[in-house]
Amino acid sequence: MDIRQLHYFSTIVEEGQITRAAKKLHMAQPPLSHQLKLLEEELGVKLIERSGKKLELTNAGKVLYKKAQKLIHQLEETIIEVKETDEGCRGTLSLGASKSCFSFFSERLPAFVKKYPLVTIQLREGDSFVIGEQIKNKEIDIGVTRLPMDLSEFSYLHLSKDPYVAVLHHDWVREMDLCSSKIRMEQLKGIPLLLLHRIKGSGQYELVVDECRRHGFEPNIICECPDVTMILSLVSKGMGATIIPKYSLLSFQTSNVQVLQIENTNIVAESALIWSKDRYLPKSAKNFIEMFEEGFPLD
C-alpha cells in the first residue's frame, strides 16, 4: 500500500462511482478498479460494497478513508513546507469570511498582494459556522468570524471591536426629523427592521433584539437574513431600517441611505481571526496573520 493507492481510494469514495473517479484522475476505469482490488487483497478486507450504481463504504473502508485523508493532507503540507524553505512566500492563500466581516480582509489584502506578488488569493464566503467548518476540513487557511463562537478547536486572534450603527433610507431620516448623524435606540421603536441572522447558532441578531428590549420595546422585525448585501439593498429601497456593525459598510457602496450613530447604546460586534491548531500553515498564511498582529489599521 502506498500514498498513490490511498489517493485513488479517497477519490473513489468522494466521487461515489469508479467511472467518475477515473475521469477525475485522468485514467481508464479498469486500472483504477484493479488498484482498488489490489488494496483490498493486501489488507484482507472488503473496503467498498457495490449497491447497484452506488458505492458504500464498509466499516473497514470508513476507517481507511479517515486515515487516508489525514495522511494525504500531511503529505501535501510536508511538500509545501519543504518547497517554502527555498522558494519563499508564494503559492495560494485561501481566506474565508462573512460579508459583514469582509472589511477586515479588504483593508489589508492590497498591501499584502503588493508585498507578496507571487501569492494567489482565494476567497470564500459563509457565516461563522460555515467558515469554522471550512477550516476544520482544510478548505481554507484563515477565516474571520463573528463572535460568540466556540474557539476551542482553533488558534485565534481577537480583532478590533465594531460598534453598531443604524442605517435608514434618506427619506425616513427626513420624516423623523433627525437633524444630526445620531439616533437614540428608542427612536427605532416601531420602525420595520431588517436584521442579520446566522444560518446556525446565535450571534448579532440576539444581541440587537436584547438591546431593543433593554430600552423598553419589542423590535418590529420584518426580515431576517444572513447576507448584509441583501439587507442594505432592501434598506436602500425603503423597505425598512437595519442595525449592523459599522465596519460592515466599508465593503459596500450604499446609496439612498444614511448611517447614524446610536448614541445611547454600547453594543459592539466582536470578531476573531481563526486558523487550524493542528496543521502546517503555509508561509503566506503566517505572513498574513502577522499583518493583524502588527495592528494594520482599518481606515
Ranges of residues in the chain with a pLDDT under 70 are: 52, 80-81, 83-88, 179, 199-202, 296-299
Do residues 224 and 195 make contact, with C-beta atoms less than 8 angstroms apart? Answer: yes
Residue pointed to by grid coordinates 527555498: 86
The whole-angstrom separation of Cα 241 and Cα 223 is: 10
The domains found in the chain, sorted by start residue, are 3-85 (1.10.10.10), 88-160+273-293 (3.40.190.10), 162-269 (3.40.190.10)
Exposed e or buried b per residue across 146-180, where buried means at least 16 C-beta atoms within 10 angstroms of its C-beta: bbebeeeebebeebeebebbbbbbeebbeeeebee
Q: Could you identify the residue written with the cell 486515515?
A: 67
SS3 165: strand
Confidence (pLDDT) at 83: 66
Task: Determine how β-strand 162-169 pairs with β-strand 257-262.
Answer: antiparallel
Tell me what pLDDT residue 123 has: 96
Nearest Cα residue to 283 out of 153, 145, 116: 116
Return the pLDDT at 299: 42
pLDDT digits (tens, 9 = 90+) for 154-177: 999 999 999 999 999 998 888 887
- Show the DSSP H helices in the chain as ranges: 3-15, 18-24, 29-43, 59-87, 103-106, 109-115, 128-136, 170-175, 204-214, 228-236, 283-293
Q: Which residues contact 295 (CB under 8 A, 6 or more apart)?
A: none
Cell digits of residue 140 = 481554507
Q: Pairing relation of β-strands 54-57 and 48-51? A: antiparallel
DSSP lists the bridge partners of residue 146 as: 271
Angular region, 156: left φ>0, alpha ψ -120 to 50, beta rest: beta
pLDDT at 87: 52
The cell numbers describing 226, all together, are 444572513
CA distance 140 to 119: 15
Question: CA 247 → CA 40, 164, 196, 261, 292, distances in Å?
Answer: 55, 9, 14, 13, 16
